[in-house]
Amino acid sequence: MKQRGSDLTTLGHRIRHFRGERGLTLDQLGERVGIAGSQLSLIENGKREARVGTLQAIAGALEVDLTTLLATEAPNTRAALEIELAKAQRNPLYVSLGLPAVKPTRGTPDETLEAMLGLHRELARRASEAIATPEEARRANTELRERMREKQNHLPEIERLAEERVRAAGHRVGALTHREVSVMAEQLGFQLIYVNDLPDSTRSITDIANGRIYLPPASIPGGHGLRSMALQAMAHRILGHERPASYAEFLQQRLEINYFAACCLMPQEASVAFLSAAKKEKRLAIEDFRDAFGVTHEAAALRFTNLGTVHLDMTMHFLRVNGDGALLKGYENDDIPLPTDVTGSIEGQWVCKKWSARNAFTHTNRTTEFYQYTDTPAGTYWCATQTGRSDDGEYSITLGVPFSEAKWFRGRETTVRAVSTCPDESCCRRAPAELAGRWAGQAWPSARLHAQILSPLPSGTFPGVDDGAVYSFLEAHAASGDPLQ
């Protein structure tokens, strides 16, 4: 049996613990087992791996069964401290400092070990916080987007899990109801509770100990309805998520819970049947897909990207653009030239002023989708855009496809057409020569500062979450005895 360094350290401590209980010296135990005391010392110090036969002999000499000897728990509090210290000193973060490893002796007080471990934990915490910068977040998000592009934005395992859960709750057709979401929670051993005092840094809180999921009493701005938030909270449990060890892992978990919620609200089988029928009749429309399942326009457009390539055999792109033209969220597998910075990140970049994602803001009738063809250096694309407003201002949601795929969509007959040469700056970013000559040196605009770009992203236990507020909230509600307050 091949054991890792941490396993060997624990095993050594357990052998030493049982040997001490039996009052045996290294040489006395070695004599009973048939090996030299010096060799046994190496095993106890985690520096040598013992054969199965040797371990069986040691267990017999110590009068314990082999399973007990090989248990992964530290035999006592002191051993737990020494094991954690040994592990911390093997960490590459500590090794990179070039400092010597400290070997505790019998005379080393427990308080000293606890102080040293406190320093190691703080070192690890600060290192984690240092990497959770805007640059690290953009890099991690770009890598995640590229991975999803390779998968066609489709995660079949989560699709299967969601389909099973939805069917188990009794749902068959139409929009998933709040009652069915509550049944799904009950089947997992949780009760959905709506409260007014959730900490500002959270969307929901799951009390694992008491089987409760706390949610706000009404939908929050941005279209994140109560059904979706409850499903996302359940998804953490269903998908077996642990505390994220990095910002990249945090983003991966966030993507997976959003994906699970979308799969439940718009189940794959029913969604593909709906979309396939619409494609056959050449009347595909995100607004119809949205209304059929009772979700937001953004949720429907994103869900279309999950299913459109794998089940409808078409490529596409999705954009969420702020009112000032900044790209907030994007996906493409149709080679449309999304704006990027030097790292490949798209978030915060300016979308071409000639794309429908920005032209839609000038559209008079905003209750329906705005359709447009756009000629770009990568080809011609057809897009359908819907605008909306949240507390943060206006935004637009765009679902677009290459010209050859437009024939399947309602709105393909539009005569609105634009030409974009972006990323060529002369397209919409560079002032005409006449204006530049007239105003160069005669104007001084004051730029708006987005203060969040100056701050590192919070890392903590869960990035962005105020742990203290969460724990205080749970303590208050757990002690109240009235979960419905």
The answer to whether the CB of 190 falls within 8 A of the CB of 217 is no
Measured distance between the N- and C-terminal CA atoms of the chain, rounded to whole angstroms: 54
Go through 98-112 and write b for each residue having 16 or more CB atoms within 10 A of its CB, e for each that does not.
eeeeeebeeebeeee
Q: Which two tokens stand for residue 156?
A: 């079949």
Distance CA 188, CA 206 (A): 12
Please state the separation of Cα 97 from the chain's center in Å: 31
Give 94's Cβ-side CA count (13 Å radius): 20
Distance CA 203, CA 235 (A): 14
Q: What is the pLDDT of residue 449?
A: 58
Q: Which two tokens stand for residue 220?
A: 């929050």
Beta strands in 12-97 (DSSP E): none
Distance CA 440, CA 175 (A): 57
**pLDDT tens-digit series, residues 375-399:** 999 999 999 999 998 888 899 999 9
Question: Quick one: which of 364, 388, 385, 387 has its CA closest to 374?
Answer: 385
3-state secondary structure of 372: strand
Mean pLDDT for each 10-residue chunk of the chain (485 residues)?
Answer: 63 89 91 90 86 90 90 89 88 85 90 93 76 73 93 97 95 89 95 89 89 80 70 95 86 95 96 97 96 94 97 97 93 94 86 95 81 96 94 92 97 96 88 84 74 51 72 79 47
3-state secondary structure of 21: helix
Q: Label residue 265 exposed, middle or buried (CB < 10 Å: 0-12, 13-18, 19+).
A: buried
Q: What is the pLDDT of residue 1?
A: 45
Please tell me the pTM assigned to this model: 0.72
Distance CA 475, CA 485 (A): 14
3-state helix, strand, coil in the chain (%, to 5): 50, 15, 40
Angle between helix 37-44 and helix 26-33 axes, rounded to 10 deg:
110
Distance CA 61, CA 38 (A): 17
Distance CA 430, CA 326 (A): 17
3-state secondary structure of 298: helix
Q: What is the pLDDT of residue 129?
A: 61
